[in-house]
Structure 1
Amino acid sequence: MANVAFLGMGVMGAPMAGHLAKAGHDVCVYNRTSAKAESWVEVHEGTSAETPRAAAAGRDIVMACVGNDDDLRGVCLGDDGAFAGMAEGALFVDHTTVSAEVTRELAAAAAEKGIAWVDAPVSGGQAGAENGQLVIMCGGAQDDYDRAEPVMAAFAKVSRRMGDVGAGQLTKMVNQICIAGLVQGLSEAMLFAQKAGLDGEAVVDVIQGGAAGSWQMVNRHKTMLEGKFDHGFAVDWMRKDLRICLSEAENIGAPLPGTALIDQYYKDVQAMGGGRWDTSSLIARLKALGA
């Protein structure tokens, strides 16, 4: 069992930290809004701290799942940041989806203090976090990954080292590029089925076992057809992720015309007031166009 700090008690971080506590790890949590950390402690075995530094002090492993690049910098750096409280030889595991640039920046800052780093973004959404069934894509030294993997197992369905520092974030970008195209294609298909007078549920029942099948089809077609988008991964966060993808694609010379177009479609959904809707709400944009 490990002494772990977990920074970020959002819809992903809170259940992930909960699985760590249930697995028997000694967990101290931190959240920018302290009430969320206090609420977590009321439900789980563990403690909370007022700063990332205090949470990280004396911990073997510090994990984070926050919002974006700046949020991650905020919990890592400065007098109250986690790095200031971590001992030489401790390990920082970042589950946030951020840019490869900030990952390399913070990994280098950690290395200067003798702190190991693993970038470990996750896929599976809120349901995956709550059920302990996340897919984790990791970047870092093999020895550091080997230290992190048994602890991450508390909330992982699959965990794999993809390469050195930054490889986890690059793999997550591939994941988000795939999802964007899948959701747009499924949105068009479900709208077509409805306009053609077909039973969308029956259509999916037939085709999901063939070449068109996907997780998105199995798990999102029904709510798409019903126009329910109050679950899952929010459009605002998807646009953040796609901007990271598009920026890195420009850096490495990988054209992503479809991804760039779908990013603009999500911008349209935001303009419709759907920033907090699930990403499957792309079908709502199509329905508005056809109204």
Structure 2
Amino acid sequence: MRIVFAGTPEVAVPALNALAESGHELVGVVTRPDAPAGRGRKLVASPVAQRAEELGVPVLKPEHPRDPEFQEQLKALRPDCCPVVAYGALLPQSALDIPEHGWVNLHFSCLPAWRGAAPVQHSIWAGDEVTGATTFRIVKALDAGPTFGVMTERIRPTDTAGDLLERLAEGGAGLLVATLDGIEDGSLVAREQPEDGVSFAPKILVEDARIDWTLPAVQIDRQVRACTPGPGAWTTFEGERFKIAPVTLLDADGDEAPALAPGTLEVRKNAVLVGTGTTAVRLGEVKAFGKKQMQAADWARGTRVETGAVLGAE
């Protein structure tokens, strides 16, 4: 089939690579416009655009896919199908109708669970043991189109959203190619999603990532891992924002887990513990305001933080 791929961030690049190496004819790539990045705020092409240029594939960067000029350019490419991974813009029906086989999205959850912008983060935060990726035909309703295929992936106890998304991006790339193969030879038929089991995964905002130290340790651990690398879990220390990388859960029955009030620190020679609503956790890397990210013990030593100091106090 003639295909036009749509995607924007780094997580979409494995799928682009897989499609470029497949038996399908990659005739174009659609991505978001160049965006400011870095200290100089210079316009930078998306990771997908950069990779497409390396592959020598024409790149379209519409301000919005409803733009008539873009839709004419897409029609001129005569795609049979448009595979999508994390493109980042809503597609109007006029664009969805252009390819004969529609737009086929690779979504990083086992639909109908976790429809929305942040399925991987929400699956970790909720404590799911298994997640996956699903291919489906895009319709007007959010992630509600009929599905073609699914893969599953176990969520490991220390997985961050970044870790899990990297594995799903690699595994999902193969699923997307297999889906296009099945559409082309007629062996795959899309099936409507069940009405039961629908859940939603809206984008996680910075304010959502603030830690409430009165919550149980397990819940805080999941929150921090779900918010890593973005938007980044945080609390406050001495009135300034204080970023928290993944923490370590401690054995409630061992000597390692002292009874600490929520947010209260215990500073040891090579570790810093903090109290939660249940057992204490050990901090990993932290980033104090105006400082580089470093191990919590190094931060405590360098800033002379003592036992009894409190995180999250206003």
> Which band: TM-score by shorter chain?
0.3 to 0.5
Greater helix percent: which structure? 1
Q: TM-score, normalised by structure 2?
A: 0.39
Greater strand percent: which structure? 2
